Chains A and B, each alone.
Chain A
């Protein structure tokens, strides 16, 4: 069987009970080693380095010195970090449910045979996903702008500055709209792919049982999409906590509303590249990574626990 690799055979004692202890088969590494090597370079190494960095401080006097967890203690009391965290958390709690609900509605409609031109809807709603975040923000930024945007036109008609997308109290909503626009179709496709795998016999059985419309959705479609909903929720949580591109590109247009510590990620970025505080920046990156992982893990646990019932 193992004609390709000789060395594992030599390493394994050839015993009569080989049926219970099969010869290790190393051939899988032929395919998996290139990914593993690059993975170590661009994932494991930076992660390790970030942990290392977070344990040091670079001081004017004394240079680079080991400080243990002092950076983490500082971060725990850092008002800038936690106000940024509060902001992305609020964003997460409001924007993600709205977006995922819209995606689910769109997926159910596109999956439903009652919709005309389903293929067209599926492609066009997914289309904004292909638009680079930078271009998406520039486009919406123009639309929001009081100089030449739709906002300006609407306010002009009303004769009153009703819409102020760049005002501090509306800026999070404005960003939420851009993120929703970018990802509603992406999540729709994830849900739709799950719905498409429902076997036709299930629908036929439901038909015989007399189930109609909403009953079919509740009893068949939503349970089938639950795994996809958990996955999409986890991706959205990760995306919210990483929020960077949209506020960073929008910042020149709304400099009153978007500070350099608007989101934890912008804070870490500005600490590094404007403040040269690499050690503290790495600490914040690690804290955000841990918080994200914990929340994503809890969501996954809750999602799968429901499945057991």
Chain B
């Protein structure tokens, strides 16, 4: 894809088959790489196939072939109606946490990364050092103290206990900072100031558009991180009505063992499939936009 963007030396164009920019395609290399594809896709294909099986077929038929009956729609219906439709509630919770948590994280990281890149203000280097140092702090080292703090102010077991910690994305701030340095020319800011625009107005009319590929990158990583969050809600929430999909699914799965075992493997499989469909769709949609954002980050590193 990117090869077409590179400037091609006319001298090299005369013998494209020998140029390192246009070598002959290799079937052997493609076949070798196909192993990666199979590895990446096999569990997902397994999930797709097995979401069509009844629980007894799950046990009795080969994993990568279809079962005796096609129970996909039955499974989907069961998933959404089991336990008074709690799965739908979990899906709604996940969406709430993603929209407010990942949306807020992207917004805060964008504003702060831009501010750090484009202004020299007192405390700037300390700010940057502290936030970058935070990248190295294991998030889970903070989870227990965060839980204790939140429980003292009565905020555990509420959506806020998930949303507020999701708002901080130090790596996102770093990406925006790196991206803003080059993609928002200082001359444009100076020109807008001469026209009498305030700093906030400049950001919301001009700068954010220039930052868009970086913002999409940060949004993608924030959305994936929030959608897939497991440790934080596991700690913070005890009421199943506030569970996101990840914690709920794991609870269904754990239902198969223990004293009052009531295995619902077909619902775990179908629920897993329903959990990954929206995030994979968002991922495939956004990934086209964000390559340049991460590329800029890689240069500076």
Q: Chain A residues in contact with chain B, CB under 8 A?
A: 4, 24-32, 34-36, 38-39, 41-43, 45-47, 49-50, 53, 102, 106, 109-110, 112-121, 123-136, 138-140, 142-143, 147-150, 152-153, 181, 184-185, 189-190, 193-194, 196-197, 200, 203-204, 206-207, 211-212, 216, 227-228, 230-231, 234, 238, 241-242, 244-245, 249, 252, 265, 268-269, 272-273, 278, 281-282, 285-286, 288-289, 292-293, 296-297
Nearest Cβ in chain B — how far from A209, in angstroms? Answer: 11
Could you tell me the distance in whole angstroms from the C-beta of A260 to the nearest C-beta in chain B?
Answer: 15
Given contacts A31-B111, A228-B301, A288-B138, contact A114 B145 (CB under 8 A): no
B 21-41 contacts with A by CB, 8 A: 21-27, 29-30, 32-33, 36-37, 39-41
Contact A244 B203 (CB under 8 A): no
Interface pick from B72-80, B81-89, B290-298: B290-298
Indicate if the CB atoms of A135 and B272 lie closer than 8 Å.
Answer: yes
Cβ 8 A contact of B63, one of A28, A129, A153, A193: A153
In the complex, how many angstroms separate the beta carbon of B132 from the nearest chain A beta carbon?
11
A135-B298 contact, Cβ under 8 Å, with A28-B119, A34-B112, A115-B30:
no
Whether a CB of chain A sits under 8 angstroms from the CB of B69 is no
**CA distance in complex: A273, B156 (Å):** 14
Q: Is the interface of A mostly helix, strand, loop or mixed?
A: helix
The interface residues of chain B lying within 8 Å CB-to-CB of A129 are: 224, 283
A193 near B294 (CB under 8 angstroms)? yes
Chain B residues within CB distance 8 Å of chain A: 1-3, 6-9, 12, 19-27, 29-30, 32-33, 36-37, 39-44, 46-47, 50, 58-59, 62-64, 108-109, 111-112, 114-116, 118-124, 127, 130-131, 134, 136-149, 164-165, 167-168, 173, 198-200, 203, 224, 227-228, 230-231, 235, 245-247, 249-250, 253-254, 256-257, 265, 268-269, 272, 275-276, 279-280, 282-284, 287, 291, 294-295, 297-299, 301
Q: Could you pull out 16 A-B pairs where Cβ atoms are within 8 angstroms?
A: A24-B121, A26-B121, A31-B111, A42-B142, A42-B167, A50-B145, A110-B33, A114-B29, A115-B30, A118-B1, A150-B46, A189-B294, A207-B19, A252-B256, A285-B141, A288-B141
Q: Is the CB of A43 within 8 A of B168?
A: yes
- Give the residue of B20, B136, B272, B297 whose beta carbon is less than 8 angstroms from that of A234: B136
A117-B31 Cα distance, complex, nearest whole Å: 11
Q: Select B230's contact among A25, A126, A133, beta carbons within 8 Å.
A: A133
Q: Which residues of B contact A147 (CB under 8 A)?
A: 59
Contact B21–A203 (Cβ < 8 Å):
yes
Asked whether, in the complex, the Cβ of B298 is within 8 Å of the Cβ of A245, the reply is: no
Q: Whole-angstrom distance between the alpha carbons of A119 and B12 in the complex? A: 25
| A residues less than 8 Å from B23 (CB atoms) | 112-114
- Tell me which residues across on chain A come within 8 A of B46, comparing CB atoms: 139, 142-143, 150
Given contacts A32-B115, A138-B253, A143-B43, contact A4 B198 (CB under 8 A): yes
